[in-house]
Amino acid sequence: MTDLLAIAKKVVGWANDDEAIEVVAVHDRDTEIRVYGGEIEQFTASESQGVGVRVIRNNRQGFAYAGSLDEDVLAETLAEARDNTPFGSEDEFLGLAAPDGVAVPELGLYDERVATMDTDAKIALAIDLEAQTLAGDPRISGIESADYVDSISESAIASTAGIESVSRESGSYVAITALAEEDGDTQIGFGFSVGRDPNALDIGKASSDAADRATRLLGAVQPETERLTIVFDPFVTAQFLGILGGTMDGDAVLKGYSLFADRLNDQVASPLFTLVDDPTNTDAFTAGETDGEGLASRRNVLVENGRLNAFVHNAYTGRRMDTPSTGSAVRSYSSVPRVGTRALFLEPGTQSQAELISGIDNGVLIQGVAGIHSGVNPVSGDFSTGAEGLRIRNGALGEPLREITIASTLQKMLGDIQAVGSDVDWLPMSAAGVSLVIADVTMSGS
Amino acid sequence: MLEDALVASTLDTALLGGADFAEVFVEDKRNSSAFLDDGKIEELTSGRDRGAGIRVVAGDTTGFAHTADLSENGLRKAAEAASAAARGGGGGVRKVTLERQHASRDIEIETFPETVAKATKVELLQRADEAARATGDSISQVSARYGDSRRKILVANSDGLLAGDDQVRTLFSINCVAIGDTGMQTGRESHGRTIGFETFDHHDVSEMARTAANRAITKLAARPAPSGAQTIVVGPGGGGVLFHEACGHGLEADLVAKSASVFAGRMGEQVASPLVTLIDDGTMSAEWGNFAIDDEGRPAQRNVLIQDGILTDYMYDQLRARKEGRPSSGNGRRQSYQHLPMVRMTNTYITGGEDNPADIIASTPNGIYVAQLGGGQVNTATGDFVFGMTEAYLIEDGKITEPIREGNLIGNGPEVLNRIDALGNDFAMGHPGTCGKDGQGVPVGDGTPTLRVTSMTVGGTAA
């Protein structure tokens, strides 16, 4: 195995006296298997590596990266980063993260079974996933994709500020997209299951989710426009939280891109709403022991009972706002560390989705949204997305709905939260899912 | 990039398992970018990615491996891995004889990015920042990005093809925030070309900055968008995203083959208003989706997909074309050497019509005028698609009146295509886009004249 930390430290060792250097080195191994018709359609075995070098000199910053760890490439990348440095603007707050004494949690995010599991067993998982989905319901007419994917990611960060950090994580998932057909109508649905160990993947859940999602939309109609209560399915809530997370990062706050910039300690949401960013929770797909600057990950409560409690920071935004880094630097080897939420989690309530629905007279269960990045503006707060789902009438699920949009504003939606479900779902995303009930949303239809 | 003999011997190794087809794709990409935010150049970044992807097809199975190690040993290991992944039948030695093919573009690059001083790239952003802030007192924040890339590729396959391309792209974008009594609003403008720095000889970043700033300022006075069905007029250039989503993806042969498209089995049928002629054209000089060869070595083509409303063709990559016994349409593209190619759009557009755009608006009693579209998304199986409106106005009594806030529009592809009842004579290309499919992003262009859709659902909050 490549010693990434040794490589990172070697480059750091080339630093001149008047410059600060931070080096990230990564090595990823991925397997992707797609089956179709019981046969392997695509099999990708990949191995990739890369290095990113950040140089700060005279309060100016430069960066370079390369998709290789060869010795000559390391030297060339450092030289490029140095050459870029004078062109950055002078900024007294620029600087590397320094060790802050917070202990790095041991999360056990690597499971060697990803590496040791026989390839044929991985292929069998994907074939089984496709077969179970096709066999589950006679209305399932075809499969668009049935995939098994796993990855082993290793990285190291070293710097002249004394950072020395290594991490190794494994992950695997199965994902399927199924087509359902009835009376000339076609609908599509997906399902997946996530695990650090491929043996833990739940093929049955992935296939039945995909079949349910596709078949329950068959015969969907476009309703009339009205205002009503919506229930976000956990998968949709996770996307909603992702947008909200972007309004609570220190960079957006500092630069005037966040609608919550001046609202710290204000009541910004319903008292039912407690939002935590916690990459130390090992259930989270994006859990990690350290952040993109090599500092220990930590649990950050962003909103507590509706009160805005904190923003997330990396070393730079923390320094500018005179507060410590919250271990929230995010990056790949091809970029400088930015700041962002890493593993969002909404404190669950006590009721299942069915119990939540039973209390709603007129509403819609939103199963999926489309265009969340084209119709939601996190700066102004305007929220508008395409959607599909099921009508809720008198506490029970009714007919499927299509070609609708749902619209409100982020600010208003947070205040209109009526309940959070108990059905936490861990997804292959940087936020966990849970059912969420929001009142007074405009549903546009015919 | 690599010696012909080394490419040939790598193909021989890839074919040792008895495969039907093998391909070596070599890429050497350098890029640079500069980012300005909050009045400061945050950093200048240089990047380099170089490697090879090796694809082996045996029966219906594709094996793929990639490596950043372009030595003989590195390539051999990747070829063996791809061959093992494809699980071909019996062995057998096949020797490939490569024949170099030349595909050229009708435009020369004048100023390669590596010849432009870094200070000049940075100065571009500072000029844009100043121009945006000078546009109005309500402009509270500005961010701008400059990026360029030079991507050299080489493709060789077991059919004997050997071809290369040198693709240069230059991109500029700016985002402005305006602040007023109603909160914050944003405005954006971007410009991208498949040529070098000379594009800024003809496109002034200060002008683009003022455009973005004015979009944000205008929206401060915007009222909530209406909700429900409305007549929609889309301005020139902007409507390309609509077609990209409404039917472009649904005409990709890989989705059609899996019946995951509402356009499957409809060849020769009337699928759109007779006004609609839809073309996908990788040869369009300097446009964002332009190239000399696609990522499978096929020269770029101009493909008529819908002619006067009749479906005339789908888009193909090599794999899908082989299965159907026809040539690829030059639509095999990939994000990088680390990805498998698949069917992708290039520059997708609707040809111009005959109507005067002013007449189209004047003859619309009530509706929405969408001047700028954001991104979109489609469910190809149902045909339902959305796109965002980032600059839009009410049409009242045949006149464009008040600005409205952002939102999505939703429609069904086949229905919307049939509801196009006016097409302007003012064709224009839109903004540079990145099209995402199956986790891969590739640069695409699109274009339309002013057009009218008799009814789409607007996702606002107002009654």
Same domain? B27 vs B85 = yes
Which domain does A106 fall in, by range?
4-215
B225: DSSP letter: P
Q: Which of A83, A388, A444 is opposite residue B460, by nearest beta carbon?
A: A444
| CB proximity list for B135: less than 8 A, separation 6 or greater | B176, B209, B210, B213, B214, B217
Same domain? A309 vs A342 = yes
- Among A186, A258, A262, A383, the strongest candidate for a mutation testing the B interface, having the largest count of B CBs within 10 A, is A186
Rounded Cα gap, residues B450 and B430, in angstroms: 12
Banded pLDDT at B242 (limits 50, 70, 90): confident
Same domain? B179 vs B241 = no
Report yes or no: B263 and B313 within 8 Å, Cβ to Cβ: no
* Tokens encoding B101: 């093919």
Element (H, E) at B234: strand B227-234
Across the interface, do A370 and B385 touch by the CB < 8 Å criterion? Answer: yes
Judge whether B407 lies within some domain. Answer: yes
Nearest-CA distance B328 → chain A (Å): 19
Low-confidence ranges of chain A (pLDDT < 50): none
Same domain? A316 vs A397 = yes
Q: For B16, list phi and psi in degrees, rounded to 5.
A: -60, -30
A78: DSSP letter: H
| CB proximity list for B211: less than 8 A, separation 6 or greater | B187, B189
Chain B residues whose CB is inside 8 A of the A382 CB are 405-407
B300: DSSP letter: P
Last residue of a domain, which of A172, A190, A215? A215
pLDDT per position as a tens digit, B192-225: 999 999 999 999 999 999 999 999 999 999 999 9
Element (H, E) at A412: helix A410-415
Q: If you average pLDDT over residues B273-301, what whole number do you get?
A: 96
Same domain? A234 vs A106 = no
| Distances in whole angstroms, Cα of residue B429 to Cα of each of A71, A283, B240, B446, B450 | 45, 47, 8, 6, 11
Does residue B87 carry a pLDDT above 80? no
Burial of B106 (0-12, 13-18, 19+ CB in 10 A): exposed
Cβ count near B285 (within 10 Å): 11
Rounded Cα gap, residues A345 and A342, in angstroms: 10
Last residue of a domain, which of A215, A234, A264? A215
Chain B residues whose CB is inside 8 A of the A385 CB are 386, 408, 459
Nearest-CA distance B354 → chain A (Å): 30
CA of residue A222 relative to chain centroid, distance: 31
Q: Are strands B40-58 and A60-66 parallel, antiparallel or unpaired?
A: parallel
Same domain? A188 vs A324 = no
Same domain? B207 vs B323 = no
Judge whether B160 lies within some domain. Answer: no
Judge whether B322 lies within some domain. Answer: yes
Nearest-CA distance B106 → chain A (Å): 32
- Among candidates A298, A136, A324, which has minimal Cα distance to A216? A136
Size of chain A in residues: 446
Rounded Cα gap, residues A136 and A123, in angstroms: 20
Same domain? B394 vs B357 = yes
* Tokens encoding B255: 């989705």
Handedness of CA A313, A318, A321, A323 (dihedral sign): positive
Judge whether B27 lies within some domain. Answer: yes
Across the interface, do A407 and B227 touch by the CB < 8 Å criterion? Answer: yes
Judge whether B105 lies within some domain. Answer: no
Which amino acid, one-letter code, is at B77?
Answer: K
Same domain? B64 vs B196 = no
Banded pLDDT at B240 (limits 50, 70, 90): confident
Same domain? A164 vs A259 = no
Same domain? B308 vs B375 = yes
Handedness of CA A129, A131, A134, A135 (dihedral sign): negative
pLDDT per position as a tens digit, B402-459: 999 999 999 999 999 999 999 999 999 999 999 999 899 999 999 999 999 999 999 9
Burial of B367 (0-12, 13-18, 19+ CB in 10 A): buried
Across the interface, do B410 and A370 touch by the CB < 8 Å criterion? Answer: yes
* Tokens encoding B354: 């005959």
Beta-bridged to residue B446, according to DSSP, are B348
Q: For B320, list phi and psi in degrees, rounded to 5.
A: -65, -40
Judge whether B42 lies within some domain. Answer: no
Same domain? B262 vs B384 = yes
Same domain? A335 vs A378 = yes
Three-class DSSP category at A109: coil
| Distances in whole angstroms, Cα of residue B153 to Cα of each of B10, B148, B294, B335 | 16, 16, 10, 12
Q: Are strands A396-409 and A417-420 parallel, antiparallel or unpaired?
A: unpaired
Q: What is the pLDDT of residue B92?
A: 58
Across the interface, do A405 and B387 touch by the CB < 8 Å criterion? Answer: no
Does residue B91 carry a pLDDT above 60? no
Judge whether B355 lies within some domain. Answer: yes
Per-residue buried b or exposed e for A293-310, using 16+ beta carbons within 10 Å of the residue's own CB = bbbbbbebebbbebbbbb
Does residue B90 carry a pLDDT above 60? no
pLDDT per position as a tens digit, B330-368: 999 999 999 999 999 999 999 999 999 999 999 999 999
Please state whether B362 falls in left (phi above 0), alpha (psi between -120 and 50) or beta.
Answer: alpha
Chain A residues whose CB is inside 8 A of the B254 CB are none
Banded pLDDT at B33 (limits 50, 70, 90): very high
Q: What is the pLDDT of residue B120?
A: 97
- Among B25, B27, B44, the strongest candidate for a mutation testing the A interface, having the largest count of A CBs within 10 A, is B44
Same domain? B378 vs B298 = yes
Last residue of a domain, which of B177, B200, B219? B219
Chain A residues whose CB is inside 8 A of the B62 CB are 41-43
Across the interface, do B42 and A44 touch by the CB < 8 Å criterion? Answer: no
Judge whether B159 lies within some domain. Answer: no
Q: Which residue has the tokens 């062995």?
A: B91
Rounded Cα gap, residues A369 and A374, in angstroms: 11
Q: What is the pLDDT of residue B218?
A: 96
Number of domains in chain A: 2
Q: For B233, list phi and psi in degrees, rounded to 5.
A: -110, 125
| CB proximity list for B352: less than 8 A, separation 6 or greater | B423, B424, B425, B426, B427, B449
Across the interface, do A64 and B45 touch by the CB < 8 Å criterion? Answer: yes
Same domain? A74 vs A174 = yes
Which domain does B59 fall in, by range?
4-31+47-100
Report yes or no: B309 and B274 within 8 Å, Cβ to Cβ: yes
Cβ count near B69 (within 10 Å): 17
- B432, B438, B439, B445 alpha-carbon torsion, rounded to 10°: -10
Report yes or no: A247 and A312 within 8 Å, Cβ to Cβ: no
Q: Are strands B278-281 and B302-307 parallel, antiparallel or unpaired?
A: antiparallel
| Distances in whole angstroms, Cα of residue A157 to Cα of each of A109, A163, A331 | 18, 7, 12
Same domain? A372 vs A406 = yes
* Tokens encoding B129: 């920042």
Q: Which of A81, A370, A407 is opposite residue B407, by nearest beta carbon?
A: A407
Rounded Cα gap, residues A410 and B426, in angstroms: 38
Cβ count near A362 (within 10 Å): 12
Q: What is the pLDDT of residue B100?
A: 81
Q: Which of B63, B219, B376 is opposite residue A43, by nearest beta carbon?
A: B63
Which amino acid, one-letter code, is at B443?
Answer: P
| CB proximity list for A396: less than 8 A, separation 6 or greater | A357, A358
Number of domains in chain B: 3
Rounded Cα gap, residues A402 and A409, in angstroms: 22
Same domain? B426 vs B308 = yes
Last residue of a domain, which of B176, B193, B219? B219
pLDDT per position as a tens digit, A101-139: 999 999 999 999 999 999 999 999 999 999 999 998 999
Element (H, E) at A279: none
Q: What is the pLDDT of residue B238?
A: 77
Same domain? A230 vs A170 = no
* Residue A117 CA neighbour count, 13 Å, CB half: 26
Same domain? B287 vs B177 = no
CATH of the domain at A59: 3.30.2290.10
Size of chain B in residues: 463
Same domain? A68 vs A23 = yes
Q: Which residue has the tokens 């101009």?
A: B302
To the nearest whole number, what is the mean pLDDT of chain B? Answer: 93
Same domain? A150 vs A297 = no
Does residue B88 carry a pLDDT above 60? no
Same domain? B203 vs B319 = no
Does residue B58 carry a pLDDT above 70? yes
- Among B410, B415, B453, the strongest candidate for a mutation testing the A interface, having the largest count of A CBs within 10 A, is B410
Last residue of a domain, which of A215, A239, A262? A215
- Among candidates B287, B275, B282, B304, which has minimal Cα distance to B449? B275
| CB proximity list for A230: less than 8 A, separation 6 or greater | A363, A364, A365, A366, A389, A406, A437, A438, A441, A443
Same domain? A283 vs A239 = yes
Outline where DSSP puts E strands in B210-288.
227-234, 278-281
Same domain? B175 vs B238 = no
Across the interface, do A63 and B338 touch by the CB < 8 Å criterion? Answer: no
Chain A residues whose CB is inside 8 A of the B238 CB are none
* Tokens encoding A226: 């009205």
Chain B residues whose CB is inside 8 A of the A226 CB are none
